[in-house]
């Protein structure tokens, strides 16, 4: 660098002074508030999935309710389906965690591109088959050395998958117009290497229970399918809240106060057998157990305690205290 290109100390001081009093023009650029900066680790693709997707969680809660009803109607038995949550796992780790056999379905979820997995474990299918055909043998004992599903169990797995497709379409309706499609089914995890082993999966688990057992259904969606829809799916879910107009509040309160309610009290009770009731005839007297204090009910809800008596020639109840609710 030549000597004549170096600023002297006096020139540097003059430049700094000019910047401070705005006499020297400077370039303006967009300043981003450090408080709005979000750190992103681009080497970790699962960060998006680990951050949570409220919209999908709401859809999966809705799916659990619909799937529970579908199973109950199909099997004619009481069941419960609970959304157990979401976590991220690589495809190879997920396969290594599966037991043999497992009903593994590779599916398309159009308009998303790629392959997702719909997986039913052996305990779930066994409990459904046991419920459908009857039997009291523990499925874990019966399948301790089992290597594959029977034709009946495979048909049961296909029935579950079709019900899941229908309920997924309804649950995701507000997010995406899903078109589920079965691509391939495997029962041995060793033959299910259709995705990149390191591909992160958003694993959604649903616990299904019956009176004779139960199992798990898991919907695994790869990161590559979720990422293009990030802006739509990662939006924070906001439930609809009606607007409150303060001007109407006093009017509503006054209208509620003018509403009529039925007030009643039980003065006495008696216990009779069925035979004694059948033997009753006109003129029979039924002795009642009348307590010192009676409960006053408003539309069936206990509100006051009181004493029975008379007022102005009419039966009446004198209020003595309020009923304390727990």
Which residue has 């029975």 as its token pair? 308
Global pTM value: 0.58
pLDDT tens digits, 164-220: 999 999 999 988 899 999 999 999 999 999 999 999 999 999 999 987 788 999 999
d(CA 325, CA 279): 41
User: What percent of the chain has a predicted confidence (pLDDT) above 70?
Assistant: 79
Collapsed DSSP state (helix, strand, coil) of residue 318 = strand
pLDDT the model gives residue 92: 94
pLDDT tens digits, 239-286: 545 555 566 778 788 888 888 888 888 877 888 899 988 999 998 888
User: What burial class does residue 153 get, using C-beta atoms within 10 Å of its C-beta: 0-12 exposed, 13-18 middle, 19+ buried?
Assistant: buried
pLDDT the model gives residue 248: 73
d(CA 154, CA 188): 13
User: Assign residue 37 a region: left if phi > 0, alpha if psi is -120 to 50, beta otherwise?
Assistant: beta
Contacts of 183 (CB under 8 A, 6+ apart): 106, 107, 108, 115
| Cα–Cα nearest to 104, from 181, 171, 152, 161 | 161
**Do you find a cis peptide bond into 101, omega within 30 degrees of 0?**
yes
Contact 75, 131 (CB under 8 A): yes
Range with the lowest mean pLDDT among 4-8, 137-141, 296-300? 137-141
d(CA 41, CA 51): 12
pLDDT tens digits, 114-134: 999 999 999 999 888 887 776
CA 7 to chain centre: 67
Q: Is pLDDT larger for residue 146 or for residue 230?
A: 230
User: What percent of the chain has a predicted confidence (pLDDT) above 90?
Assistant: 36
pLDDT the model gives residue 244: 54
Collapsed DSSP state (helix, strand, coil) of residue 31 = coil
Structural tokens at position 100: 């043999």
Confidence band, pLDDT 50/70/90 cuts, at residue 95: very high
Structural tokens at position 53: 């997707």
Which residue has 């998006």 as its token pair? 48
Angle at 154 between CA 151 and CA 155, to 5 degrees: 90
pLDDT the model gives residue 143: 52
Q: How many CB atoms lie within 10 A of CB 182?
A: 14
Structural tokens at position 41: 């680790």
pLDDT the model gives residue 24: 64
Map out the domains of the chain with their CATH numbers. 52-233 (3.40.1550.10), 262-277+286-326 (2.30.330.10)
pLDDT the model gives residue 236: 43
pLDDT the model gives residue 119: 97
d(CA 88, CA 93): 10
């Amino acid at each position: 660098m030549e000597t004549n290109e170096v600023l002297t100390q006096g020139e540097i001081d003059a430049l700094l002074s000019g910047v401070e009093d705005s006499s020297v023009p400077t370039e303006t650029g967009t300043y981003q508030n450090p408080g709005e900066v979000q750190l992103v680790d681009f080497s970790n693709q699962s960060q998006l999935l680990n951050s949570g997707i409220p919209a999908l969680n709401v859809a999966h809660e809705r799916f659990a309710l619909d799937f529970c009803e579908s199973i109950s109607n199909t099997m004619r038995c009481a069941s419960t389906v609970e959304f157990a949550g979401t976590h991220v796992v690589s495809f190879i780790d997920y396969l290594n965690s599966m037991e043999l056999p497992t009903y593994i379905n590779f599916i398309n979820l159009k308009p998303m591109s790629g392959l997702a997995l719909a997986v039913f474990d052996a305990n779930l299918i066994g409990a459904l088959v046991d419920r459908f055909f009857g039997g009291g043998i523990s499925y874990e004992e019966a399948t301790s050395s089992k290597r594959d599903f029977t034709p009946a169990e495979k048909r049961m797995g296909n029935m579950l998958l079709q019900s899941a497709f229908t309920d997924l379409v309804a649950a995701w309706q507000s997010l995406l117009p899903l078109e589920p499609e079965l691509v391939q089914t495997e029962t041995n995890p060793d033959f299910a290497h259709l995705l990149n082993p390191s591909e992160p999966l958003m694993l959604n688990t649903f616990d299904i229970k019956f009176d004779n057992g139960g199992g798990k259904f898991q919907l695994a969606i790869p990161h590559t399918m979720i990422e293009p829809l990030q802006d739509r799916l990662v939006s924070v879910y906001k439930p609809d809240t009606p607007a409150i107009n303060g001007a109407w509040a006093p009017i509503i309160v006054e209208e509620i106060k003018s509403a009529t309610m039925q007030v009643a009290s039980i003065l006495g009770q008696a216990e009779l057998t069925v035979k004694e009731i059948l033997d009753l005839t006109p003129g029979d007297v039924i002795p009642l157990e009348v307590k010192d204090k009676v409960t006053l009910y408003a539309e069936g809800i206990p509100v006051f305690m009181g004493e029975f008596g008379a007022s102005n020639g009419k039966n009446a109840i004198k209020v003595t205290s309020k009923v304390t609710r727990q």
